[in-house]
Structure 1
Amino acid sequence: MSLSDRIKIAKRVAQELKEGEIVNLGVGIPTIIPDYLDDKKVYLQSENGLLGMGPTPSDDDIDMDLISASKKPVSMDKGASLFDSSDSFLMIRGGHIDTAVLGALQVDETGEVANWAVPGETILGVGGAMDLVAGARRMIIASMHLSKDGSPKIVKKLSFPSSGTRKADMIVTEHAVFQFLEGKMYLIETLSDVSIEALREMTDAEFHVLEKTKVETN
């Protein structure tokens, strides 16, 4: 997983965030999005109790009591607020999060997400994944296209435990942007020079290509 690919995904997701939104950033790629918002004003929430999360601080300003969901140092924007985890989850469960940006272990072709457990392996655990899947008004998945072993992360059917029946609205990978509409997956933009034929080979799920799909030509 190259840093340049992670940055590409974060920058593309940042384009989807709207002025004035309250946005929760999950573990992994989502936590680097604050560095690529430019002047766009969104209110970033971390489930460990921060609203108004800012970009990565300089080395001189790092305070490890102030961290993201990935336990990485963050800054606070002017007017930010701190609160305990129970209040954070009240915001999430109460429907006060406009957009959740989450990582994923798998996403199926209808947009159902698995991002908390791999059978037979010990990983981080559920965290706030199920609450965010159920509670956020919109869900964007920020993920590498393939897993570390080269297997597809975008699959016809989940083989890992689901995070909830609520479906994602969009997934952004280093190669493509897909939208989920009425249980179907649509390619709306390519982000690398990979051909659509090659994209189909690395994507287990079936997807449709719209006539207006933006194709990377570099």
Structure 2
Amino acid sequence: MNATAYEFSTWILPLVFAITFHEAAHGFVAHAFGDSTAWNLGRVSFNPLRHIDPFGTLLLPALLLLSHSPFLFGYAKPVPVNFRKLRTPRLGMILVALAGPGTNILLALAAAAAFHLLPIVPANAALWVAANLKNTVLINVVLAVFNMMPIPPLDGGRVAVGILPRPLAVPLSRLEPFGMLILIGILILLPLAGSQFGLNLNVISAGLRTVTDFLIRLILILTGNS
């Protein structure tokens, strides 16, 4: 296996499972609170094939990896949730939204704890397994932190809509159709524009990295890897 294929294999499995568990968790909690939309469509499943988006889950991360991008990003097909069908719509929306990032943090904790099992892994596979575990921790924490940004349709945006008083929640919820454009603007276009004038406008990304680094250190401490 050449170096590129080896590196790709240590990233794609953690990414596929992180995204799959994230989306499935949304569906499970929505079903528990009374919305069977995802359940009826067969999307409440830990089968990656039900959640994989060919471009977002496979092609985009591969292109970023091959181009030596400083970040790795991907997405799955969103699990459909009809919030009006939830027994307690406001609380249900918050818990459905939190289920995805919460599951990612649990996966990161499990992967970090699994480092203690490396001594029993065959020597010829130990490095590959260690790389997968390391990337599992990183990808799941990044996914959780990124999704908790308070911008709809990200999970953090839906939590904010559920928590804020109606006069603030309604205008925030109306941003959902433009959420991805806003994210592209503040994470990519704004820093690029700032660099043309010698300004560092990469504040949001820097904040995300700070929170990500803190959570990874905390997870390593909690699992005895510090």
Task: Report the TM-score, using the length of structure 2 for normalisation.
Answer: 0.22
Task: Report the TM-score, using the length of structure 1 for normalisation.
Answer: 0.23
Relative contact order, CA 8 A, sep 6+: which one is greater? 2
The structure carrying a bigger strand percent of its residues is 1
Between structure 1 and structure 2, the one with the greater Rg is 2
The structure carrying a bigger helix percent of its residues is 2
